[in-house]
Amino acid sequence: LFLSLSLSPLFLILHRKPLGFQDLGSHLESLLSEGEPIEDSKDQPVEGRLGPQPVVLDHTSGFEGLLFVDDDLLGVIGHSNFSSIRATTCVYKGKWAYEVLISSQGLMQIGWCTLNCRFNQEEGVGDTPDSYAYDGNRVRKWNVTTTNYGKSWAAGDIVSCLIDLDEGTITFCLNGQSLGTAFTDIKTGPGVAYFPAISLSFKESVAFNFGSRPLRYPFSCYLPLQNPPASELTKAHKLLGYIKNVLCTAIDVQVPTGSVLVQKDCSLWRLHGEPTILITLAHIFNHFAPLMCKVYLVEDVLMNFLLGILEGGGSVDEHPLIQQLMDLFWLLMEDYEVNECLKQLMMSLLRAYRFSPIIPDLGFQIHYLRLTTAILHHEKSRKYLLNNRSTFDVLRSVVFFYIKTPLRVKEAGLEELIPTTWWPTHFDKEGKDEREPKDESADERLRRRAYERGCQRLKKRIEVVEELQVQILRLLLNNKDKSTGEASRYIFLNKFRKFLQENASNRGQHPTALCPPEYMVCFLHRLITAVRTCWDEGNRKNPGSVRSEEAYVPPQLFYNGKVDYFDLQRLGGLLSHLKKTLKDDLASKANIIIDPAEIQSTSMDDLDEDEESGAAQRPFGAAAMGGALARPSWLSSPTLGRANRFLSTAAVSLMTPRRPLSQPEKVKVRTLTVEQRTEEDIEGSHGNDGLLLGRPHEEPEQPVADKSLLEIVDGIVMMYNLSVHQQLGKMVVVADDVHEYAVALKDTDEKIARCPARRADILEELQKSQKVFSEKLNHLSRRLAWINATIYSKEKMLDVYWLLCVCIRTIEHADNTSSLFAFAPEFYLNVAMNAYSALKNYFSPANSMDELPGYEETLAKLAAILAKHFADPRIVGTDIKDSLMQALASYVCYPQSLRAVERIPEEHFCIYSGDDSPAVRPWAQTNWILVRLWRGCGFGYRYTRLPHLLKTKPEDANLPSLQKPCPSLLLQRHMAELLSMDKDMAASFLNSVLNQLNWAFSEFIGMIQEIQQAAERPERNFVDTRQLKVCATCFDLSVSLLRVLEMTVTLVPEIFLDWSRPSAELLLRRLAQLLNQVLNRVTAEKNLFDRVVNLRLPGLESVDHYPILVAVTGILVRILVDGDRQGISRAASVLLSDPCFQLHSIQHLLGEGVEPSSSSAGAATSTARPVRKHFSLHACEKMNESLDVFFSVFQPTCEEDLCPICYAHSISAVFKPCSHKSCKACINQHLMNNKDCFFCKATITGVEDYSKPATS
């Protein structure tokens, strides 16, 4: 039978003795031994090569710096400035090759070196005479000196390093394409042998293939450094051929002459068939199974065989043979054999997917994903892969869900896919793209539509890959496959939580242990799609549950301890603190009793140390990771081995573990919670609510969804917070580049049109620039098409919008629980703010936010959350409170979101609430919000950008501060009503504003004094840019506070002018004092302020006469011109009576007595011209008359009668009980902030009027 299967045709063996099962084993052995090399010849050294087999990285002595090396000693991650390492084998004759799989596209030098090369933290491979390297990051080759060479590489590329020692040349190839001969006449001869070597900077990672796996791009005549397992390879191919023969053969027992072998389609083969076939396969697998534990044979034989089965096309379900083969593997192979085989198969698939080049139809990616899907369709294999820690590293690495962005557009075939390129050519005054330009020409319209059609073709091809990735996740989220143990979803859920824990806990400590953000983005979108599909399937079976469009995470997950949030910050602080302070609320509202032992929290550091404490130390100079450093990324190294060898040339003592653990700390509370939960723990049973234990009374009884899906949604929100949002912001740079080049090209075109015919030299240079810009735009527009399809498409925008809505509903439900809201993690608020920011700023203008379902309602809900919680006493973290304030400040800068703020109920909006003080809230942002509400209504305050900056281009026209003024009359009216009704709050609010203004302007003057002194020094000096930035910030803050005062005095003038109010006179005097101080320092010619403005220092662009003078003028106009007679009289009297008042400041403001030739006068005059329209000469004359009257009645005061605090006014008040004296203005101002005596610190119980007794 076996001979008939393997040798065919049948007539050749009819005369032979029939073969029985008892002879089949020996016959197989004889067949496999044919052509096998003699034992002595197997390990013969190859001429031209020295060193052990297998070839690995030299982790004992061949490295410099700090490095992480994988268990297989083929993957390496740099962990210091510039680390170097070489291989264990060298070559001195012949032609040799090895491959490097690039995992990160940063600074690396890859090539060859000799044993005599000495490297350090600054010099690596290629920096010594006998070392040669290629650097695709800087696109150069290195051998002491450097020259341009090759192409730029990207993560996912494969670099082939070829050395021809017979000709003395070194060549490099990128993804199989030769980059040309890099070096010729390299040193050869006795004593010269070359090692593969690499130098790489911090966090960069690669993996080597010296021949332990089939080379992805083999080159004829070049041998791999490691011998392929030729004998085993021959055996494996023979055995696979035998298996194919068996699968394609059937026994027809219905033939009259007896049983006959017939050919059949192997795709229809089923395991449940004839015992004869099964026994035959068992004999073959006896030899085949041990071979399938070796990575080279799995990749070259098994993976290619399985890929061949799927080559016919069609859906994966149309190829049941792979399922039958998986059954066969589990039946005929030992468990350890099938486990190792599956592990190596998945690793090979992952490497193949990750390092396949991008082609127009994405054929490679689709091919490997289809096989991955087919394998995961097999229930037993899927659960093994999910359960096995080292194997699940493959799936956990989320590589299968990533679609890489091609760096080289031409190689990716985008020129064929998108033959016509287009970019915006019409811009508004701010430089922004016009969404629908009215003057678009017919040619431009045709180009745009052709480009959009090309983008749609690309998007459809990418969607095929995304659909396969979602299918993989759907298989992992299967909760019905319980026949062979726990359902896949619950295994995946526990591993997913562990994945989040590693990425959350290592952030900032060991960045090499993090999943790259570009992988996270793709994984998040696929997971959202898969989860929403599962959610809606559950909703159809249970119509009473919540639909995925209304999904949210119930608040009990945050406090019942069923879901681990690691050490992430809660809104109310640390979890241990909340358990202590809110244990009574938990008992009364959620029926959860906190065990006193649980309040003693265990840190994650303790658990990590405990988990790794059993790791044995390596005997060589590389310390085991143990408790000293978390193992680096399972993703960064393409070999995906656990990279637990840390190489250091400094000292092994650096790797000593942290503090020893005491016995009680060794309980793995979190590890057990995360990784050992069962379906019953999650979903609950027999009255147990599982994850939803402790439902508060405010929460509806309606079921939300499968509880496992709730935890995955919670994990998705956490993922977005960890790194997805930052990556979305990072990828926008391509669209920004397109915009900048388009503006530059349009400017160049206009210059060419204006260029005179006689200037041919200028025209030639302009045409060169035009060509460069056009070529760059062609490249960038195609790259942008890819990014828009994979990251910023309409579907991805809907995913982020859904996430925003989930966060909003979750926060609303958590808020209803009163004090238990403090248990909610901070990242829910962060994601709500960041997701809105991403939708507004990152996604393509073609995807309008207005088209999102329920967008207006969502905008209003988010506005309500920001307004309600930015002063919420349940939130204690300063960072999250500051973020809420900044988000609200940005919200009021745009008309649409401002209208949403106006729709908030008054009781929720508390910008001006009574606790508005610096001790309670970041007042700078509060006042910035008020300024935005006023901008557009103030005196000379309708500008978008400062007049003197209009000729310069803003760095980012989308900044909130550069939006057109959109004042809110409604919110202004609310503020006016509040300040009118609550006199105490109004006095406290204005006291705070005046104090802040006094501080900000004083700091500003002090800083410009230092800057002026530095600028006047004769020696060369540099002003610290940070000092300039702080100085400009203090100036902007001063202007903003003056505008807040202008708004207040305009809306509620009685606060200052109605002296029936107890604090009105004091506030008016303080206001006059500050206005005079500002005018005296800003209006004087050639003074300190004037000189610093004229220096035009970078960073101080916003510092100018105009913004601060018009703010002061707005206040003066309101109190001296636009008020009633009594108010104007009081204001003028107080202004003139202030000791700091100087008439020439007012005259300078009005443009009187100023020489027009003065440079500083120009600024003041330009400021004064609009002033004259409102601030009439009649008012000036009246002011001068008042001044004359004031001076006529003014009598000089004896020095003994002056206030000892200000030395400006006469003593007019006496303190009780200590009897110290001062003027009323000083003591009233002091009492607004402090109740202790200014002199003796005794508590003041009262203030009485004082008049000097008449002398006899």
**Per-residue pLDDT reduced to its tens digit, 1025-1045:** 888 888 888 998 999 999 999
Mean pLDDT of all residues in 31-36: 75
SS3 (DSSP) at 158: strand
How confident is the model over 1175-1193, as pLDDT tens digits?
A: 444 545 555 555 555 445 4
pLDDT score for 125:
95
In this prediction, residue 1153 has a pLDDT band, given cuts at 50, 70 and 90, of low
Mean pLDDT of all residues in 565-577: 89
Q: Which residue has the higher pLDDT, 1035 or 684?
A: 1035
Token digits of residue 331: 């039946």
SS3 (DSSP) at 352: helix
Mean pLDDT of all residues in 1123-1138: 83
Query: Is pLDDT above 70 for 1002?
Result: yes
Query: Is pLDDT above 70 for 255?
Result: no
**C-alpha distances in Å from residue 1062, one per residue of 429, 984, 1054:** 50, 9, 12
Rounded-to-integer distance, Cα 67 and Cα 643, Å: 10
Mean pLDDT of all residues in 395-401: 76
Query: Is pLDDT above 90 for 826?
Result: yes
From the list 218, 206, 227, 179, the residue with the least C-alpha distance to 97 is 218
Query: Is pLDDT above 80 for 42?
Result: no
Task: Determine what percent of the chain falls in helix, strand and coil, rounding each to the nearest 5.
Answer: 55, 10, 40
Q: CB-based burial of residue 955 (10 Å sphere; 0-12 exposed, 13-18 middle, 19+ buried)?
A: exposed
All structural domains of the chain with their residue ranges: 2-20+230-397, 49-224, 729-787, 913-945+962-1193, 1199-1249
Domains 49-224 and 1199-1249 alike in fold: no
pLDDT score for 429:
52
pLDDT score for 674:
55
From the list 844, 745, 793, 1096, the residue with the least C-alpha distance to 951 is 1096
Query: Is pLDDT above 90 for 89?
Result: yes
SS3 (DSSP) at 646: strand
How confident is the model over 1046-1058, as pLDDT tens digits?
A: 999 999 888 888 8
Mean pLDDT of all residues in 869-887: 88
Rounded-to-integer distance, Cα 270 and Cα 247, Å: 9
Helix (H) or strand (E) holding 1089: helix 1088-1095
In this prediction, residue 476 has a pLDDT band, given cuts at 50, 70 and 90, of very high
Query: Is pLDDT above 60 for 1011?
Result: yes
How high does pLDDT run on average in the chain?
Answer: 81
pLDDT score for 263:
61
Rounded-to-integer distance, Cα 1076 and Cα 491, Å: 72
State the DSSP string of 738-780: HHHHHHHHHHHHHHHHHS-TT-HHHHHHHHHHHHHHHHHHHHH
CA 465 to chain centre: 24
What lies within 8 Å, CB to CB, of 246 at 6+ separation is 5, 277, 280, 281, 284
CA 1191 to chain centre: 66
Q: Exposure string (b/e) for 125-141, b if CB count within 10 Å is 16 or more? A: bbbbebbbbbbbbeebb
Helix axes 275-291, 335-354, angle to 10 degrees: 60
How confident is the model over 275-297, as pLDDT tens digits?
A: 878 888 888 899 999 999 999 99
From the list 399, 993, 958, 477, the residue with the least C-alpha distance to 729 is 958
Mean pLDDT of all residues in 1083-1112: 84
Query: Is pLDDT above 80 for 1023?
Result: no
pLDDT score for 606:
43
Q: What percentage of the chain exceeds 70 in pLDDT?
A: 79
Query: Is pLDDT above 60 for 911?
Result: no
By the 8 A CB rule, do 369 and 400 touch?
A: yes
Domain 49-224 -> CATH class: mainly beta
Query: Is pLDDT above 60 for 733?
Result: yes
Q: The pTM is what?
A: 0.83
pLDDT score for 1164:
37
By the 8 A CB rule, do 76 and 647 touch?
A: no
Query: Is pLDDT above 80 for 945?
Result: no
Of 143-152, 327-336, 1061-1070, the one with minimum mean pLDDT is: 1061-1070
State the DSSP string of 1153-1189: T--TT-HHHHHHHHHHHHHHHHS-HHHHHHHHHHHHH
From the list 1069, 1146, 563, the residue with the least C-alpha distance to 1154 is 1146
Rounded-to-integer distance, Cα 1033 and Cα 1027, Å: 10
pLDDT score for 1156:
43
User: Which residues is 289 bridged to in the sheet?
Assistant: none
How confident is the model over 645-656, as pLDDT tens digits?
A: 566 654 332 333
In this prediction, residue 1215 has a pLDDT band, given cuts at 50, 70 and 90, of confident
Of 237-246, 678-687, 969-978, 1046-1055, the one with minimum mean pLDDT is: 678-687
In this prediction, residue 867 has a pLDDT band, given cuts at 50, 70 and 90, of confident
What lies within 8 Å, CB to CB, of 506 at 6+ separation is 513, 514, 630
How confident is the model over 590-643, as pLDDT tens digits?
A: 778 877 766 654 444 444 434 443 333 333 333 333 333 333 333 344 444 434
From the list 994, 990, 997, 1003, the residue with the least C-alpha distance to 1038 is 997
How confident is the model over 400-457, as pLDDT tens digits?
A: 999 988 888 887 888 889 999 998 887 655 555 555 556 778 888 899 999 999 999 9
Rounded-to-integer distance, Cα 924 and Cα 460, Å: 49
Query: Is pLDDT above 80 for 18?
Result: no
Token digits of residue 203: 């966090």
The sign of the CA dihedral 325, 329, 330, 336 is negative
- In angstroms and rounded to an integer, the radius of gyration of the C-alpha atoms of the chain is 39
Rounded-to-integer distance, Cα 365 and Cα 357, Å: 9
Q: What percentage of the chain exceeds 90 in pLDDT?
A: 36
Domain 1199-1249 -> CATH class: alpha beta
State the DSSP string of 1199-1256: GGGB-TTTSSSB--EEEETT--EE-HHHHHHHHHH--B-TTT-PBP-EEEE--PPPP-
In this prediction, residue 397 has a pLDDT band, given cuts at 50, 70 and 90, of low
The sign of the CA dihedral 429, 430, 436, 437 is positive
Token digits of residue 1251: 């008049």
Q: Which residue has the higher pLDDT, 752 or 388?
A: 752
What lies within 8 Å, CB to CB, of 1081 at 6+ separation is 1005, 1087, 1088, 1089
H helix runs in 842-872, sequence order? 855-869
**Residue type for position 536:** D
